[in-house]
Structure 1
Amino acid sequence: MTSVLVVANGPMQRQMAGPSIRCLELSRVLHARGHQVTVALPAPTDLPDQGFPLVVYTADSIVSLARRADVVLVQGYVLRRHPDLAHVHSRIVVDLYDPFPLENLLVFQRAPMERREAEHLESITAIWEQLARGDFFLCSSERQRDFWVGGLTAMNRVNPYTYSEDPTLRNLIDVVPFGIPSVPASSTQRAIRSRVAGVGRDDIVLLWGGGVYNWFDPAILIRAVGRLADRHPRLRLVFMGGAHPEPGINELMWAVPEARRLADELDLTDRFVFFNDTWVPYEARADWLLDADVGVSTHFDHVETRFSFRTRVLDYFWAGLPVICTAGDTIADTVASRELGATVPPEDLDAVVAAIDHMAADRRWRNACSRRVRDFAAALTWETVAEPLVRYCESGVAAADGGWALRGRPFSTIAASLVTPAAMPRSGLRRTLRAAYDRLPLTVRRSRSMRWAVREVRRLRAPRSRPRSRR
């Protein structure tokens, strides 16, 4: 039995978003496999008893909790907020399923450039620190794994030590996708039909599960439903995710008010397009999913799409919903190859209209897609997808390059250490040191240890007084 500490990046409550859901479900799997699991939370929880401790951590207590664990699982900004975690002797597992620096490019896209620079440096520094310290890394797909192997290479974690231990690097980074519960989705009550004013029992419901974030394109769905209103008067588009449960997120998401404004302008609000104002509790989401006919997700064509893993579509799979989604990410490739619904090119309104029209008009095809979805979903349970993490907790070891002094240091910052004064003129060495320093994040350059290092370098560069002659 291994002692595992799972450190959540955000609140873990009945109303929670993807990262906290992932922490909870992975913890449940590890606990069921016999490991001693503790989940550390940044805020109190209202969840019922899970069979393992859910404890609120502080800056002082988190290190103490980590020292008592064999394995510590972190995600997001946890290491950034609590840098002392990097110095515990426990094995650190870093969950990279959410490449948030790419998301933040869109979250802050409309902010002043100074704010965008600061937010990007903060997020990319958080990633650097994780890549430098982690003993084992998780990601959501093989495409994501390629992305993160590139990052690990740049951070000098793909090196003779890690390669010699495992030429495939699976011992360093492996795929643990988002999963679905092994228990089939079941409903306790209707959440949409005859409960949302304007949606009837016989209507065709397109459900947008989860939040409306800036990297999505809800407008194209709203416009498509408007076009089809005369042809399919029973068509309804329902946005399930209202106000985000984490403080500060809603103010950054302009996609929500813009979607509402467009629906108002087209006179579709509460007639064909409906917005839920609250965040649906995690354990209640099946009531919404099973009250829909089709799951939808549309996004723009950008780098976030390329490496994303649309977790809301996993919920559609769990509920047996056929899917209409934009092409370009891993999940969309699966939808297309396994005929689980329809994929459309980004920002192609005619294609979205045609896909919805086909899904609404052809019930036999819709039901056939649903059967294929249910068959495919059986392989996506948390117990199945978490196997690499379970295996690491049972028999994994610290990273093979743990004793190497240059581990986790970008090559730009170690160039100077590979060049001795004898091998390079003093002026060239100064230029190399300066170039390496300029590439460091602003937060690192302003740190106490870096200021001390700069003072030492300047002291060593100062001309020494010559000893007086004894003649």
Structure 2
Amino acid sequence: MTRILVFGFAPLPFEPYRTAGPSLRTWHFVSVLRAAGHDICLIANRIAGIYPEDLPNIVTAESEHLLYHNVHDVVWHDPRALRPLIHPFAPECALAITTPAAGIAAANIGSLPLWCDLYGSVMAEAQLKALLYADDRYLAHFWSFERHALERADKFSAVSERQAWSVVGELGIWGRLNQWTCGYPFVITIPIATEATPFTATGRCLRGVRIPEDAFLILYSGGYNTWTDVDTLFNALERVMSLSPKAHFVSTGGIIYGHDDFTYRRFESLIAESAYRERYHLCGWLEAQALINLYLESDVAVNTDRFAYETMLGSRTRILDWLRAGLPCVSSDLTELAQSVAAYGAGLTYPPGDAERLAECLLACAEPERNAQMRQNARRLLVERYTYQATSAELLAWVASPCRAPDVGKPMLRLVRPYRTLWVELGEMVRTRRLSLSLAVKLWAPVAAVLKTFGLGGLLRALARRGQRTLRFDISPYQVKWHVPEPPQSVRTAQAFTLDAQARNIGEALWLPVAQSSFGVNIAYRWAGNGQTTAWERLTLPQAVPPHRSIALSLSLRAPSKAGEYVLELDLVREGVTWFSQTGSGTLRLPISVTE
């Protein structure tokens, strides 16, 4: 048997905290290796926002074939703190579960053979994050993770066949498809997986408690990530509820702290204006058993993806839970997993962005006979293709005889260089007076070493908290300051009039008109009054507006057709991304009387 050092993420499924994709992927690998009799030392980084703040920096537990070190960020990024956990174990090889773990492993394992599990395409995820936060510097941060993996790992696994080929391309760019590795199988596919044991209910959460016993319950579970298409989801649910009085929607999960703080808030704001808002049930993050109970009392689960390479290269962990619960699911047709679900008759797929087709698929799952057949097929698909044991044969073969890649120690031609060096980022910090996340991670280890040298190690945790506040992801780059020098006091019904206004870009995002970008910025207005609110009307942004610049606008508006007291609301929207008001900017509201 082999002594295996694993770098992964926590919490694990047996802990009393909500789990996330990276921690479930960690448990997938660890549980298979334990079951095969290997000895495991797991160093797991705590996912932000889950554990109590007063937990010690290192919590260690030991069980059969598993030594488990649960560590805070201040330990995870400090080699001097990690090595005392590693050396007594005397590992024979190492596994890095998820791309961010690769850099941590590379800094701590010397010349041990390293398997890196690239749990989804981190660069495709970075593309979506850069869009959401209007900042391409996220690409450098994520690339630093990917580069460490490409440079150091001896074997790679991906969650889909598509991602596996993507990794092969990256290896070629980095110079590792060379004479020495010709014929060497660098990358294999290990789909996401789960345990085969069926879930068991312990009670009811909604059905017969807060909603009717015969309700048609649609479930969304998990985080609202950068790839989640909340607009298509909401529009489809509105149509379903208009056609089916029994339809209810329940959501578990929400904001992914430290990664995506915008998407869920946008969904909440859409629901707040729905005529059916009483049939939306937003439960937030739940304990494991409460979530299982909801799986088992729901009729169908839904997953909505926006079209993106992240989706096409990746997978969806939540779908595995639904299969385990025998729950039919409807998903966009972008992932390999969703296509397998449809092929097995365990659910349905829809074209991304097509709310009408998504609504049709959800309503089709309300048919009792069809729903029952999908439930049977879901369990069959899971057992045949997506259990831990069914996906791990090649991993077990490698750890039985771990070895370095054939090009280790050989002369290699580097085809690219890391342009984002420490000195480049330090210079950028001086120019912009902003500390990037990528640079903060690079500086952490030397800062920690200096503080410990002077006996100030106790300050590290406070410094980490301060850094998390400074580098907050929920500081919106979409900020506008409105100025209307002479707002009209009254207008006539249905009158076309011009409103002169000034909009100042006080955020960090460049505003591009829709003519220059698929995700361009539009001006929008609506009227609220007389017991109703009109739909948003779009107006074209006439030119690009850089950060900290202003634009003078002459807005052509039309008054409501009925007289009364109204509030004219002005907002900006980055199409396909977010409304400025939904990320903290605020809507301009002008009280105006509409007369006959």
Q: How far apart are the structure 1 equivalents of 2:394 and 2:156?
A: 10
Q: Please list, as runs of the form range in 1=range in 2, the aligned pairs for 1:421-460 lying within 5 A after superposition.
A: 440-443=419-422
Please tell me whether residue 212 in structure 1 is matched to residue 217 in structure 2.
no
Does residue 1:97 correspond to 2:119, yes or no?
yes
Query: What residue identity is the alignment partner of 1:329?
Result: T
The residue type paired with residue 147 of structure 1 is S
Q: Provide the C-alpha distance between the structure 2 equivalents of 1:444 and 1:161, rounded to a whole number of angstroms.
A: 33
Please give the alpha-carbon distance, in whole angstroms, between the structure 1 residues aligned to 2:105 and 2:423.
15
Greater shift after overlay, 62-71 or 337-346?
A: 62-71
CA displacement, residues 123-176 of structure 1 (integer Å, 9 cap, x when unaligned):
112101111100111111111111111111111222222224x3xx1xx22111
| Structure 2 equivalent of residue 6 of structure 1 | 6
Distance 1:236 1:123, change over 3 A: same
SS of the residue 2:353 aligns to: coil
Q: How many equivalent residue pairs?
A: 402
Contact 1:9–1:77 (8 Å) recurs in 2: no
CA contact (8 A) 1:182 1:383 kept: no
The alignment partner of 1:274 has SS state of: strand
- Say if 1:110 and 1:177 are closer, same or farther in 2 by CA, change over 3 A: closer
Pairing partner for 2:67 from 16, 41, 53: 53
Task: Map 1:67-146 onto structure 2 (within 5 A).
Answer: 67=87, 68-74=90-96, 75-81=98-104, 84-85=107-108, 88-112=110-134, 116-146=135-165
Q: 2:258 aligns with which of 238, 248, 256?
A: 248
From the superposition, tell whether residues 82 and 22 of structure 1 become closer, same or farther in structure 2 (CA, over 3 Å).
closer
1:346 aligns with 2:352: yes
Q: Quick one: structure 1 residues 383 and 192, their matched pair in 2 at CA, closer, same or farther if it must change by over 3 Å?
A: farther
- The one of 313, 318, 321 aligned to 1:312: 318
TM-aligned CA distance change 1:50 to 1:366, over 3 Å:
farther
Partners of 2:43 and 2:104 in 1: CA distance = 14
Percentage identity across paired residues of the two chains: 23
Match in the other structure for 2:415: 411
Residue type of the alignment partner of 2:187: I
C-alpha deviation, 1:296, in angstroms: 0.8
| Residue aligning to 1:273 | 280
1: distance between equivalents of 2:214 and 2:60? 35
TM value normalised by structure 1: 0.79
- Quick one: which amino acid aligns to residue 369 of structure 2? R
Moved more, 294-303 or 283-292: 283-292
The separation in 2 between residues aligned to 1:318 and 1:133, in whole angstroms, is 36
Give the C-alpha shift of residue 234 in structure 1.
1.2
| 2:238 corresponds to 1:231 | no
Within 2, Cα distance between the matches of 1:7 and 1:48?
Answer: 15
Distance of 1:404 and 1:47 partners within structure 2: 39
Q: Residue 213 and residue 259 in structure 1: after superposition, are their counterparts in 2 closer, same or farther (change >3 A)?
A: same
2:575 equivalent in structure 1 = none
Report what 2:214 is aligned to: 202
Deviates more, 1:364-373 or 1:155-164: 155-164
Question: Which of the pair is proportionally richer in helix?
Answer: 1
Judging changes above 3 Å, is the alpha-carbon distance between structure 1 residues 81 and 391 closer, same or farther for their aligned structure 2 residues? closer
Distance 1:283 1:318 in 2: 14
The Cα shift of 1:256 comes to 0.4
1:19 aligns with 2:3: no
Distance of 1:353 and 1:72 partners within structure 2: 46
Partner Cα distance (2:251, 2:403) in 1: 45
1:193 lines up with 2:221 in the alignment: no
* TM-score normalised to structure 2 length: 0.63
- 1:259 CA displacement: 0.7
Higher relative contact order, chain-length normalized (CA < 8 Å, sep 6+): 1
Unaligned runs of 5+ in 2: 47-54, 427-596
Give the structure with the larger strand fraction. 2
For residues 333 and 146 of structure 1, the distance between their equivalents in structure 2, rounded to whole angstroms, comes to 18
Deviation at 1:82, TM superposition (A): 6.4
Matches of 1:387 and 1:283, distance apart in 2 = 30
Q: Evaluate the alpha carbon distance shift between residue 381 and residue 47 of structure 1 in structure 2; reply closer, same or farther with a 3 A threshold.
A: farther
* Alpha-carbon offset, residue 293 of structure 1: 1.2
Structure 1, gaps ≥5 residues long: 414-438, 448-471
- Call closer, same or farther: CA 1:266–1:49 in 2, change over 3 Å: farther
- Could you say which residue in structure 2 is the equivalent of 1:427? none
1:334 equivalent to 2:340? Answer yes
Distance in 2 of aligned mates of 1:283 and 1:404: 52
SS in 2 for 1:160: coil
Q: Contact (CA 8 Å) 2:93, 2:113: kept in 1 or not?
A: yes
Do residues 299 (structure 1) and 311 (structure 2) align? no
CA distance in 2, matches of 1:174, 1:230: 46
Q: Take 2:397 and 2:81, find their aligned partners in 1: how far apart are those partners?
A: 28
Instruction: Summarize deviations over 1:79-99 as a string: whole Å, max 9, x none.
Output: 4356522x6121111110222
Please, which moves more after superposition, 19-28 or 2-11? 2-11
Which amino acid in 2 is paired with 1:7? F
1:50 positional shift:
5.4
User: 1:9 deviation in Å?
Assistant: 4.4
